[in-house]
């Protein structure tokens, strides 16, 4: 593809993302599948443009409006190239045809877009002293206010960290290999990596190599998983031979980690409302050589099965649906799909899940509650409310990480934002 065709593809793709509430990664992957003529280099170039705009959407929009122009996908991409990529006027104009555009080219610049380029060339910086703080930190006003209440004098430090692109973390599959061996294997492939800081299984990779193409990945020697997420499984403290339930298993990241902690001994039941997510989990489990996990979609039959299993699990993990505010580094578009009503609904769902899970834990067993949210109303507040109504539960000082309550944040820990509480049922 020519630079012009790549720019036009980015305009089309960004337009699709901005006009829907669906997650951007799904839209982008679907676009690639429907444009199979795009090579890996083209996809990477187009993706860099689109994700770049999504990470800086509020500031770019502010700059475009401040210049007196209308915010459109083309205007945002023009602003991105000038203010973020540092393109000069000549480089930018190379993305547009001089005369009649070709079949895959963008339209020629309008007079308004030329004026926008003139204005932005004088700015020459993404940030501006007149920008409101909510714009500077890429948040809706209502969410910025909640973040200020949450973080206090650490607000700017925490929000700055949420703006940065997340690193690539791997979790070593100890059923098949060791962390030292994976580090050596990556080095042989010319990939720079180091041991993680918190998890004994974590490897942090520099850059964005195509990990999924490595034979070692296809053989199940490691999985992609944020180090903070790995710590949730570690906090559960599962042991070989136990009976474990992952109530909101999703695609199985924490299920896999717990299964390897159990050395394939005992049983793990992974349930989720989405059969599609569980299908992905099954693929990952097979690749990892895990054979003590049963996947059950949450439907009427599974609900009946769970009712018969009340009080029978050693550990129940509730990785609760949440606002996802701790993962904004990975999902920058999620900032603009979140509304206060969503958090109100999620709090109700989180409370219901805790109450349901509490009946499934055997006396002396553990209930582990986790979110990828940085908001206390989804974390400590939910646990405090639960403990106030369940006298048979208390914080477990013997949690797998040695602390019953854990918070991880991008600024302090270099991970996504996570919360985990480990509770013990009296028995």
- CA distance readout (Å), 260 to 146, 188, 252, 296: 38, 26, 12, 19
Q: Name the segment(s) of the chain with CATH classification 1.10.940.
A: 3-131
**Tokens found for residue 148:** 């200020």
Q: Which residue, among 343, 322, 318, has the nearest Cα to 331 in the 3D structure?
A: 322
Which CATH architecture fits 228-425? 3-Layer(aba) Sandwich (3.40)
Q: What is the pLDDT at residue 355?
A: 96
> In this structure, are residues 253 and 234 in contact, taking their beta carbons and an 8 Å threshold?
no
- Please write the tens of the pLDDT for every residue from 188-207: 999 999 999 999 999 999 99
**Residue 162 pLDDT more than 70?**
yes
> In this structure, are residues 203 and 179 in contact, taking their beta carbons and an 8 Å threshold?
yes
pTM for the model stands at 0.93
Q: Name the segment(s) of the chain with CATH classification 3.40.50.150.
A: 228-425
Q: What is the pLDDT at residue 175?
A: 97
> In this structure, are residues 255 and 230 in contact, taking their beta carbons and an 8 Å threshold?
no
**Residue 427 pLDDT more than 80?**
no
Q: What is the pLDDT at residue 99?
A: 67
**Distance between CA atoms of residues 309 and 381, nearest Å:** 28
Has 372 been annotated as catalytic?
Answer: yes
- Please write the tens of the pLDDT for every residue from 37-61: 888 899 999 999 999 999 999 999 9
- CA distance readout (Å), 304 to 214, 282, 307, 314: 42, 22, 5, 19
Angle at 336 between CA 95 and CA 349, to 5 degrees: 145
Share of the chain above pLDDT 90, in %: 87
Q: Which residue, among 244, 266, 272, 229, has the nearest Cα to 365 in the 3D structure?
A: 244
Known binding residue 153? Answer is: no
Count of Cβ atoms closer than 10 Å to residue 5 Cβ: 18
- Please write the tens of the pLDDT for every residue from 138-157: 999 999 999 999 999 999 99
Known binding residue 319? Answer is: yes
Confidence of residue 294 (pLDDT cuts 50, 70, 90): very high
> In this structure, are residues 373 and 328 in contact, taking their beta carbons and an 8 Å threshold?
no
- 224-248 mean pLDDT: 96
Q: Name the segment(s) of the chain with CATH classification 3.30.70.1170.
A: 168-224
Confidence of residue 32 (pLDDT cuts 50, 70, 90): very high
Highest mean pLDDT among 88-92, 104-108, 333-337: 333-337
Fold that domain 168-224 belongs to in CATH: Alpha-Beta Plaits (3.30.70)
- Please write the tens of the pLDDT for every residue from 366-380: 999 999 999 999 999
**Tokens found for residue 156:** 């700017």
What contacts 118, CB < 8 A, 6 or more positions away?
Answer: none
**Residue 101 pLDDT more than 80?**
no
Q: Which residue, among 108, 11, 131, 112, has the nearest Cα to 60 in the 3D structure?
A: 131
- Please write the tens of the pLDDT for every residue from 401-417: 888 999 999 999 999 99
Fold that domain 3-131 belongs to in CATH: N-utilizing Substance Protein B Homolog; Chain A (1.10.940)
**Distance between CA atoms of residues 98 and 94, nearest Å:** 9
**Active site residue: 248, 295, 322, 372, which one?**
372
Half-sphere exposure of 61 (CA within 13 A, CB side): 17
Share of the chain above pLDDT 70, in %: 100
Task: Quickly tell me which residue has 């190599």 as its tokens.
Answer: 209
**Residue 15 pLDDT more than 90?**
yes
């Amino acid at each position: 593809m020519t630079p012009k065709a790549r720019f036009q593809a980015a305009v089309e793709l960004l337009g699709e993302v901005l006009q829907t509430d669906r997650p951007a990664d799904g839209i982008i992957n679907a676009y690639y599948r429907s444009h199979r003529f795009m090579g890996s280099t083209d996809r990477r170039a187009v993706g860099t443009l689109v994700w770049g705009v999504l990470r800086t959407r509020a500031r770019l929009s502010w700059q475009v409006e401040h210049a007196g122009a209308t915010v459109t996908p083309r205007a945002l991409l023009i602003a991105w190239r000038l203010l973020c990529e540092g393109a000069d006027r000549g480089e930018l104009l190379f993305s547009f045809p001089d005369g009649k555009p070709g079949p895959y080219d963008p339209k020629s610049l309008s007079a308004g877009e030329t004026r926008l380029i003139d204005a932005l060339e004088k700015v020459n910086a993404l940030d501006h002293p007149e920008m409101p703080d909510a714009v500077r930190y890429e948040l809706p006003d209502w969410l910025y206010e909640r973040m200020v209440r949450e973080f206090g004098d650490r607000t700017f430090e925490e929000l700055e960290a949420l703006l940065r692109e997340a690193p690539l973390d791997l979790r070593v599959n100890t059923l098949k290999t060791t962390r030292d061996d994976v580090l050596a294997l990556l080095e042989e492939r010319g990939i720079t990596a180091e041991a993680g800081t918190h998890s004994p299984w974590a490897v942090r990779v520099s850059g964005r190599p195509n990990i999924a193409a490595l034979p070692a990945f296809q053989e199940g020697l490691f999985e992609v998983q944020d180090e903070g997420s790995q710590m949730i499984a570690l906090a559960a403290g599962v042991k070989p031979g136990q009976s474990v339930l992952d109530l909101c298993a999703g695609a199985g990241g924490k299920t896999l980690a717990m299964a390897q902690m159990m050395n394939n001994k005992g049983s793990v039941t992974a349930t989720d409302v989405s059969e599609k997510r569980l299908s992905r989990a099954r693929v990952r489990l097979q690749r990892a050589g895990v054979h003590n996990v049963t996947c059950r979609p949450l439907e009427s039959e599974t609900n009946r099965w769970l009712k018969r299993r009340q009080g029978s699990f050693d550990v129940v993990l509730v990785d609760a649906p949440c606002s996802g505010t701790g993962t904004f580094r990975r999902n920058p578009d999620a900032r603009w799909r979140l509304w206060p009503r969503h958090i109100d609904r999620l709090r109700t769902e989180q409370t219901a899940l805790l109450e349901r899970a509490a009946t499934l834990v055997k006396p002396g067993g553990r209930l582990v509650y986790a979110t990828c949210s940085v908001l206390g109303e989804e974390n400590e507040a939910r646990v405090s409310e639960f403990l106030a109504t369940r006298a048979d539960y208390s914080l477990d000082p013997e949690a797998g990480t040695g602390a019953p309550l854990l918070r991880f944040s991008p600024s302090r820990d270099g991970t996504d934002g996570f919360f985990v509480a480990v509770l013990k049922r009296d028995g």
